[in-house]
Amino acid sequence: MKMYLAAVAAMLMAGATSAQAQDGMREAGALQALAARESGRPAYSPATAVRFKASDNVFVKSALEVNFTYRAAFVTLPLFRGLSPRNEPVYYIITDASDFDVARTMGINYAPKMRHAVGDGAQRVTLDAGVMRFRGNVDFTPEHLVIAGSPMAPFPPRVAKPGAVGDAEWSSMAVLPSGTVLNVQMVHNASGTHDRVKSIDLEKRTVSLSLLDGFQGGKQYYYHLVTDVSEALPAALENGVHTPRLAKVPAFGQSRPSEPSALLGFSPVVNGITDTKTRMDQGFAASIANGGIDPINIFPIDPDNDNRSQSNNYSPLWDAHVSMWTPAAVSGGKRRRITSFADLEGLVKAGWITSASINPPAPGNSFVAQLRPTRAIINCPVIAQPNLPPQ
């Protein structure tokens, strides 16, 4: 009898999942149809997509342009129209989906871990003929400001103010009526425009946003887009929207596919070399000391957009495990750019790198070289990792 009930439950679950997937595809179709109608540009499909070079290794296939100019990289993406809680028009981008078929249909990253973001850290949205109505909104009026602590010790900054703040209901984790979760970032509304926007065309429905560099697997040019951040300090440092609601997405310090977490661990460094002439600059101190250049953080994996299985561990919600060079490493001239998770783990074992003092007490995360989580989520959808000579 128990086996029979279990089999029935499995069949019902499979049916529910199938129905959810079908509803998700209908929602994706409605979003694309509206965007195509209003922009005059065909909806994304493999036939209409921009033909990037294989060596560009572009993950977000719906991108209209990716420019890899060093320290000035940017991506141009389709722009979608939605409605604010006050019925005002807002404009947003979509970069990731929790459903494989939705992601493939829209030409965005497949992020199965985002299925765990459906709780308090997300916002449930509605769709009416492809128009997404948000529960929350973003205030783009604050002035983005970061002032170094001192010339010798730029971090922590004396002043760090994000240039945009989400209200209590705003989250980039948008849960559609079907239950599909989309990574959605508002970039323009009545209050202004996201600080990473280089140009925006509301008529043609396009937006160009600056990209950040990073390291993954020993390779530079892990180009990603910071959209929003759960804490004010990293939001100011990374030039993203401060989104307090995002902090409720589970679960800090859990990064493996088997764990009920939408987050994936990565590692910024606090006190890397700040002199850009060395080509070894890296970290928050270097970024602050040099007018907000890329901190060049260390990431574990690429998006795996052809892998439908739940073993796919990609998520754009990066769980910061901030590291620092030890005093012995600094005085001994050991600092350099950290280039991979394997490199990071070796430096931790050698005693040159440890958890940053800003990280609260917590168990170390074995996924991130036993470093402690900082309890800050940085939403960084990965756009491309081109094969280019290192700088």
Q: Kindly report, residue by residue over 198-228, the tens digit of the pLDDT.
A: 999 999 999 999 999 999 999 999 999 999 9
Determine the pLDDT at residue 318: 98
In a domain, residue 227? The reply is yes
Identify the three-state secondary structure at position 244. Answer: helix
pLDDT digits (tens, 9 = 90+) for 239-298: 999 999 999 999 999 999 999 999 999 999 999 999 999 999 999 999 999 999 999 999
Q: Is the peptide bond before 251 cis (omega within 30 degrees of 0)?
A: yes
Determine the pLDDT at residue 5: 41
pLDDT at residue 389 is higher than 90: no
Q: How far apart are CA 227 and CA 244, in angstroms?
A: 13
Residue 57 vs residues 23, 109, 155, 318, 387: alpha-carbon distances, Å:
31, 13, 34, 21, 7
pLDDT at residue 19 is higher than 90: no
Determine the pLDDT at residue 15: 52
Closest CA to 243 of 188, 196, 185: 185
Which contiguous run of DSSP H or E holds residue 25? helix 2-39
pLDDT at residue 14 is higher than 50: no
Q: How far apart are CA 226 and CA 210, in angstroms?
A: 9
Instruction: Report angle CA 258, 260, 263 to the nearest 5 degrees.
Output: 100
Q: Is 47 exposed, middle or buried (0-12, 13-18, 19+ CB in 10 A)?
A: exposed
Determine the pLDDT at residue 17: 62
pLDDT at residue 344 is higher than 60: yes
Q: How far apart are CA 43 and CA 97, in angstroms?
A: 17
Structure-token pair, residue 119: 């709780």
Number of domains in the chain: 1
Average pLDDT over residues 161-166: 98
Average pLDDT of the chain to the nearest whole number: 95
Structure-token pair, residue 354: 């440890």
Q: How far apart are CA 375 and CA 216, in angstroms?
A: 22
Residue 85 vs residues 24, 187, 299: alpha-carbon distances, Å:
23, 16, 36
Average pLDDT over residues 81-88: 97
Question: Are 175 and 126 in contact, with CB atoms under 8 Å apart?
Answer: no
Greater model confidence, 378 or 2: 378
Q: How far apart are CA 75 and CA 77, in angstroms?
A: 6
What is the 3-state composition of the chain as percent helix, strand, coil, each rounded to the nearest 5? Answer: 25, 25, 50
**Residue that is written with structure tokens 């965005």 in the block:** 108
Determine the pLDDT at residue 18: 80
69 residue type, one letter: T
Average pLDDT over residues 365-377: 98
Q: How far apart are CA 119 and CA 99, in angstroms?
A: 17
Q: How far apart are CA 81 and CA 30, in angstroms?
A: 12
pLDDT band for position 161 (50/70/90)? very high
**Dihedral through CA 372, CA 361, CA 212, CA 70, nearest 10?**
-70
In a domain, residue 5? The reply is no
pLDDT digits (tens, 9 = 90+) for 329-342: 999 999 999 999 99
Indicate the DSSP class of residue 48.
T
pLDDT digits (tens, 9 = 90+) for 46-84: 999 999 999 999 999 999 999 999 999 999 999 999 999
In a domain, residue 12? The reply is no
pLDDT at residue 1 is higher than 80: no
In a domain, residue 46? The reply is no
Q: How far apart are CA 47 and CA 53, in angstroms?
A: 15
Structure-token pair, residue 324: 């620092």
* Bridging pattern class, strands 109-110 and 89-97: parallel
Determine the pLDDT at residue 4: 39
Domain range for 100 is 20-41+52-384
pLDDT band for position 9 (50/70/90)? very low
Structure-token pair, residue 272: 């890397």
pLDDT at residue 16 is higher than 90: no
Instruction: Report angle CA 71, 93, 205 to the nearest 5 degrees.
Output: 95
In a domain, residue 11? The reply is no
pLDDT at residue 7 is higher than 80: no
Residue 147 vs residues 74, 88, 281: alpha-carbon distances, Å:
25, 34, 19
Handedness of CA 36, 40, 41, 42 (dihedral sign): positive
Average pLDDT over residues 114-123: 97
In a domain, residue 222? The reply is yes
Identify the three-state secondary structure at position 288. Answer: helix
In a domain, residue 390? The reply is no
Closest CA to 183 of 96, 245, 303: 96
pLDDT at residue 315 is higher than 70: yes
In a domain, residue 326? The reply is yes
pLDDT digits (tens, 9 = 90+) for 129-156: 999 999 999 999 999 999 999 999 999 9
pLDDT at residue 13 is higher than 50: no
The full DSSP string for 179-198 is S-EEEEEEEEETTEE-TTEE
Structure-token pair, residue 175: 């849960």
Q: Is 280 exposed, middle or buried (0-12, 13-18, 19+ CB in 10 A)?
A: middle
Question: Are 235 and 229 in contact, with CB atoms under 8 Å apart?
Answer: yes
